[in-house]
Structure 1
Amino acid sequence: MKTIIFGLVLSVATIGSATAASITNKDAQSQVLIVTEAGDKIEMVVEAGATVNFCPTGCFVTMPSGDRETLAGSETLDIVNGAAVIK
C-alpha cells in the first residue's frame, strides 16, 4: 500500500514540475504570437529581448511570419527576423 501511495505522490509531483515551451524574442521590436491551447485562442506579445514560458501542455502557435507550429510544451524557440527557430 505504501508503494502505491508513494508512486501516486511521485506521479503528481512529476506532472506538477513539467516544463513549458519557452520563446525568446531576439528582434528589436515586440512580436505577437497567436496561441491556441485547449480550444482557446489568445494573442501573446513577446517584448524585444524577452523570454516567455507558455504552452505547458501543448498548443498550436502562429508565428509573426505566419508560420504555424504544433508544440508539445517542452520546446525552446527563438524569434529571429519575425520567424521562429526551434532549437
Structure 2
Amino acid sequence: MKTFVLAALILPAAAHPAFTASVVNRDSEPRTLIVTEGGSQTEVVVGVGETLEFCSAGCFVTMPNGDREVLTGSETVEISEGRGRVR
C-alpha cells in the first residue's frame, strides 16, 4: 500500500514537463542577457548561433538593447540585429 501511495504522488510530478525559456542568437557576434531569477541577477552570454536554456521558474530579462521582458519559462527569445524578441 505504501508503494502505491508513493507512486501516486511521484508519477504526476515526474510526468509534468519542466518548462524553461530558451534564447537563440542569430547575430554575428556574442550577445549578453541580464537574467534576474529568484532574487539573483546573472549575465548570460550567448555565442554566435548558440541556443541556451534558462529561466526555469519565471524571470525578468534585460535584452542586449536594454528592453526588459518578464518570462514565465516557456518562451523563446530570438536575438537579431542586437534586439531580443520573445516568441
Same fold (TM over 0.5): yes
The amino acid of 1:5's aligned partner reads L
Task: Say what the alpha-carbon RMSD is for the aligned residues.
Answer: 1.5
- Structure-1 residue corresponding to 2:11: 10
Identical residues among aligned pairs (%): 47
Structure 2: stretches of 5+ with no match in the other structure: none
Q: Give 1:82 shift.
A: 1.1
Aligned length: 85
Q: Does 1:60 align with 2:55?
A: no
What CA distance in whole angstroms lies between the structure 2 residues aligned with 1:14 and 1:38? 24
* TM-score normalised by structure 2 residue count: 0.87
Write out the 4+ residue segments of structure 1 that deviate beyond 4 Å after TM superposition: none
- Map 1:1-87; keep pairs closer than 5 Å: 2=4, 4-15=5-16, 17-87=17-87
* TM-score normalised by structure 1 residue count: 0.87
2:8 counterpart SS class: helix
- Structure index of larger Rg: 2
